[in-house]
């Protein structure tokens, strides 16, 4: 198995299997396409109802609170740590050489019932990303984040959460940001990134 595939598989196993059988197994998020390295990471977070009640929360896979169903609307407060998969874009990126910390609060609503097969949506959110690595100087980005569609459903004793994530950056990513060379002083183009996430609740 190549170093690239071994790294991706290792992150997936940590995200999905390395936590207790009782509780949340965490959330794996893949930023599939951007003007830079493809990123994969583990996300933790909480769902807070609009009346300030804590609906559901996990910290690195350990459950703080679990709910029997999603409310009508809630605020998701998520944080994640990502690393590069080795998929190339404009320059030759390598796996694990680019890393990112993300903080992403988002207002979400469900459009179907609170149990069984649930469809929900992230109406509006923010994304603050801090990128760092061995071969470039640290930098950060601000963007907006949407979750156009997500589903939660049960298979036996396991609840699955699958989501499509869309991030929009007014100041997009460019290749000069991922090198040690001086950055180009330009107005970077608008950029959208596409991502997919998966979570498990045992």
Q: Quick one: pLDDT at residue 108? A: 94
7-11, 152-156, 196-200: range with lowest mean pLDDT: 7-11
Which structure tokens are listed for 94?
């390598």
Q: How far is CA 5 from CA 15, 20, 47, 167, in A?
A: 15, 25, 32, 25
Q: Band the pLDDT of 174: cuts 50, 70, 90.
A: confident
Q: In sequence order, which residues have a C-beta less than 8 Å from that of residue 165 and are 6 or more positions away?
A: 29, 31, 122, 145, 146, 147, 194, 195, 196, 197
Structural domains of the chain, ranges and CATH numbers in brackets: 3-201 (2.40.160.20)
pLDDT attached to residue 15: 40
* pLDDT over threshold 60, residue 9: no
- How many Cβ atoms sit within 10 Å of the Cβ of residue 95? 21
pLDDT tens readout for residues 77-121: 989 999 988 776 555 666 778 899 999 999 999 998 666 788 999
């Amino acid at each position: 198995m190549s170093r690239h595939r071994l790294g991706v598989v290792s992150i997936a196993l940590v995200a999905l299997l390395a936590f207790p059988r009782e509780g949340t197994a965490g959330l794996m998020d893949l930023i599939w396409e951007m003007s830079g390295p493809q990123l994969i990471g583990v996300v933790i977070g909480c769902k807070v109802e609009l009346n300030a009640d804590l609906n559901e929360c996990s910290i690195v896979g350990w459950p703080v609170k679990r709910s029997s169903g999603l409310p009508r609307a809630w605020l998701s407060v998520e944080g994640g740590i990502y690393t590069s998969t080795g998929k190339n874009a404009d320059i030759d990126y390598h796996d694990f050489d680019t890393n990112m910390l993300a903080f992403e609060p988002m207002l979400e609503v469900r459009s179907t019932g609170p149990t069984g097969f649930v469809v929900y949506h992230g109406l509006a959110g923010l994304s603050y990303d801090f990128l760092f690595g061995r071969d470039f100087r640290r930098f950060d980005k601000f963007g907006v984040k949407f979750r156009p569609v997500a589903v939660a459903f049960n298979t036996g004793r396991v609840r699955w959460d699958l989501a499509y994530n869309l991030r929009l950056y007014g100041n997009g990513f460019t290749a000069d940001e991922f090198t040690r060379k001086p950055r180009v002083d330009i107005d970077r183009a608008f950029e959208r990134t596409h991502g997919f996430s998966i979570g498990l609740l045992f």
